[in-house]
Amino acid sequence: MTLQGKRIVLGVTGGIAAYKSPDLVRRLRDAGADVRVVLTESARRFVSALTFQAVSAHPVPEGLWDASAAQGMAHIELARWADLVLIAPATAEAMAKLAHGHADDLLSTLCLATEAPLVLAPAMNRVMWAQPATQSNRALLEGRGVRFLGPGEGPLAEAESGRGRMLEPLEIVAALSEPGALAGLTVLITAGPTREPVDAVRYVSNRSSGRMGYAVAAAAARAGAKVVLVSGPVDLPVPAGVERVSVETAAEMHAATMARAAEADIFIGAAAVADYAPAEPAAFKIKKSAPAMNIELKRTEDILGSVAALDGGPFAVGFAAETEDVEANALRKVEEKGLDMIAANRVGPGEGFETDDNALVVLWRGGREELARAPKSELAGRLIDLIARRYAESRT
Ligand code: PMT
């Protein structure tokens, strides 16, 4: 992504690393960006608004109630103006506010009001960064498509050393300027469970929460792809920059996927699609008169197999959910369905389904890579990096 002509709102929150932010403004402007700065109350204790006004060549709004903004609504004006919102440094408090949707100052309010991508360069004490609360806020934000740059490791304030340093201004500018690993590509992803109706009120389904598939969609969008997410019924927000197509049954997921497969460069089947569906769902609620009942089930269509069989179709990546012989079963699926790659996970009580973290073994003909247990948002980022690499190799 070139920064030439990009309109960037730089949010500065109250950490000692704020002393680097005027230099960051200068470096962003050197790269061709137009930068407007928003300071929190705490940031003003570290660096003055006047400094930022001088380096950005724009006035720095007073706050949420700045009377000089159009109709007194600085948050809306800036939210619409921005192509990108960058917060550097982002404190633990700033992350917590964003994760939980607070809107009590100009920066948090404009972050809620903008459709522009949000990038955070955290800076804090190493213990604060490692805290489960901060890490869970990070996972929440990443799951919604927020991109994190750093923090880096090294000497911190308070004469300590560890992970928590804000990246240097030039590193931030370089990271923002790099085209994502999937820039220019379209990625089609399935996620979540399907529901197969038994009658007018009941269905057959499974335990998929959609978290893994949504994390993969968010990571693909962060990597610069155009992402279409065909999703079964889940209780998750659409990640930033992702187009969601909502479906309920395996047949609907098959139809929605096949309608979009020709435009996709990469297909990732993370959905837990029902393999069988009731053959003849009743249009009414079945009464409980009989002491027992049988439901005849018929096979559903294999979405992943159908996509992989397309002539000139997308690079096909499957998931394999296995309770035993994980790798052997996953490799069999690679051969049977003609896949380019498969991400295998062990599932069972407390594993794979409905959890916040996961571990994967990614397999392809002649290769394998283990992705160690991590929050699904982090794991998805590593999986997308690997898919991007294998995809690029397959084209050369
Ligand atoms: O959603 P979460 O709670 O976060 O849980 C994540 C997950 C465990 C659901 C996910 O990581 C996962 O493993 N998804 C695939 C689940 C699955 O259906 O696996 P499978 O081994 O039964 O199927 C193999 C592959 O074929 C999968 O890519 C599946 O999407 C695909 N398939 C299966 C049946 C079918 N009719 N059509 C398909 O496309």
- How many percent of the chain have pLDDT more than 90? 87
In short, whether 300's Cβ falls inside 6 Å of ligand 1 is yes
- Please confirm, yes or no, whether 345 is among the known catalytic residues: no
| Ligand 1 binding pocket mutation candidate from 190, 195, 205, 208 (most atoms within 8 A of CB) | 208
Helix 376-395 vs helix 132-143: crossing angle, to nearest 10? 40
What are the φ/ψ torsions at residue 303 (nearest 5 degrees)?
-65, -50
| Structure token digits, residue 155 | 């000497």
210: Cβ below 6 Å to ligand 1?
Answer: yes
Element (H, E) at 299: strand 297-299
CA 200–ligand 1 middle distance (angstroms): 26
Tell me the CA–centroid distance for residue 332 and ligand 1, in Å: 15
- For residue 326 and ligand 1, the question of a CB distance below 6 A is answered with no
> What is the Cα–Cα distance from 270 to 331, expressed in whole angstroms?
16
Would you state the pLDDT for residue 63? 85
Q: pLDDT confidence of 64, banded at 50, 70, 90?
A: confident
pLDDT for 143: 83
- pTM of the predicted protein model: 0.85
pLDDT of residue 70: 63
pLDDT digits (tens, 9 = 90+) for 182-206: 999 999 999 999 999 999 999 999 9
Residue 255 CA to its chain's centroid (Å): 25
Q: 114-125 burial by CB neighbour count: b if 16+ within 10 A, else e?
A: bebbbbbbbbbb
The answer on pLDDT for 2 being more than 90 is: no
Nearest one of 96, 140, 145 to 119, comparing CA atoms: 145
Ligand 1, closest atom to CA 210? 1
Q: Can you tell me the distance from the alpha carbon of 234 to that of 209, in angstroms, rounded to the nearest whole number?
A: 6
**Confidence category of residue 145, pLDDT binned at 50, 70, 90:** confident
Tell me the percentage of the chain whose pLDDT exceeds 70.
98
Strand (E) positions, 347-384? 357-364, 367-375
C-alpha of residue 191 to centroid of ligand 1, in Å = 8
Lowest mean pLDDT among 177-181, 265-269, 380-384: 177-181
Arithmetic mean of pLDDT, 153-167: 87
Q: What's the pLDDT at 1?
A: 64
Q: Tell me the two tokens of residue 236.
A: 């998750």
**84 band by pLDDT with thresholds 50, 70 and 90:** very high
Q: What is the mean pLDDT of the chain?
A: 95
CB 266 within 8 A of CB 387: yes
Residue having the nearest C-alpha atom to atom 10 of ligand 1 = 270
User: Residue 396 — pLDDT band, cuts 50, 70, 90?
Assistant: confident
- Pocket of ligand 1 contains residue 272 by CB under 6 Å: yes
Q: pLDDT tens digits for 283-301?
A: 999 999 889 999 999 999 9
Separation CA 25–CA 13 (nearest Å): 14
pLDDT tens per residue, range 113-123 = 999 999 999 99
Atom of ligand 1 nearest to the CA of 299: 36
Average pLDDT over residues 345-365: 94
